[in-house]
Amino acid sequence: MPGHDLIVVGASAGGVEALTNLVKNLPPDLNAAVIIVLHVPSHGTSVLPNILNRAGKLPVSHAKNGEQIRLRQIYVAPPDYHLLVKYGYIQLKRGPRENGHRPAIDPLFRTAARAYGRRVIAVVLTGVLDDGTAGLTAVKMRGGVAVVQDPDNAMYSGMPRSAIENVDNIDYILPLSEIPDVLVNLANTPVKGEENPVSDEMEIESDLVELDMEVLNNEERPGKPSTFGCPDCGGTLWELSDGGLLRFRCRTGHAYSAETLLAKQSDALEDALWVALRALEEKASLSRRMATRMRDRNQSLAAQRLEQEVQDTQERAAIIRDVLLKGNAIVAEETTPAPKDEQPTDVS
């Protein structure tokens, strides 16, 4: 009888330090494979395998498409690819972003739950917003084990706190230093009980990230149409509800939690304000030049009208500039972490 031999881990901001401490304390004879998604820029270069190889005793590498999943091996999602779990092997796909990320945590957790059910341990570490919460729900639906870093112990508490608030029956909420021992014990514990079935919604969402054409063309999809548009492609978003978690997904597969969608809409609003500020500044500049020409031609009334327009335009621009500056100040304050004394055979 197999143990909990597939450990999937998600981290975002502050994740390099957390993952280093986690991997450092895993033994070389761990009876499980470990798969990691850390949010990284799509066009960046990830050196996380190098860092984790120096820190721990288990071999670490970027996952390769079609690679067999083996015990006592750590696989890291490469930039710009979702890392998906099939039964016995890994699949990399450049599917639609979820929660604004590729790689994202939710597709890893969801596909691991679909393929391995009760054998999965899902771990949510430090990060902002709430990627990983929906995937953790899928793991629990299939009878897997949910482990969440204590938000008070995390460098960034957003992801752990979201998981705790929205996922029922989380098995372990622990400081980072206690998680490795729990993972080792679970890996050595046989899985008991009947397998919970894979829901239709989980099947559809898992296939959407692979851009499965049959699913894309299927008019019957989970949820109901909302009044919101997708920030990435402009399509209609379908509203989904996983227990207490409100989520959205568009026809092409872009997915958002409510919190992430709100953040995306804030970004879109800021972009619109910058466009408006630029248009007002250009209008004021052109009106000023025209007023000068009118003065040179002794057309005083026309010059006065244009000068008044310059003043009105600059006043509107000042209001928008003030909104932008205050908004940026609030974001900077909310995303700066408080200082802490301590930061804390094949699988088939």
Cα 16–Cα 21–Cα 27 angle in degrees, nearest 5? 125
Residues 44-80 as b/e (b if ≥16 CB within 10 A, e otherwise) read eebebbebbeebbebebebbeeeeebebbbbbbbbbb
- CA quadruple 255, 258, 260, 265: dihedral positive or negative? positive
Q: How far apart are CA 131 and CA 161, in angstroms?
A: 11
Q: To the nearest 10°, the Cα dihedral for 66, 184, 242, 149? A: -110
Question: Is 46 designated active site?
Answer: no
Q: Which of 12, 162, 206, 287 is catalytic?
A: 12
Cα 132–Cα 233–Cα 227 angle in degrees, nearest 5? 80
Q: Which of 5, 106, 130, 131 is catalytic?
A: 131
Question: Is 162 designated active site?
Answer: no
Q: How far apart are CA 82 and CA 40, in angstroms?
A: 11
Residues constituting the chain: 348
Question: Is 12 designated active site?
Answer: yes
Q: Which of 4, 5, 39, 287 is catalytic?
A: 39
Q: Phi and psi (nearest 5°) for 60? A: -125, 140
Q: How far apart are CA 322 and CA 303, in angstroms?
A: 29
Q: Which residues are designated catalytic?
A: 12, 39, 131
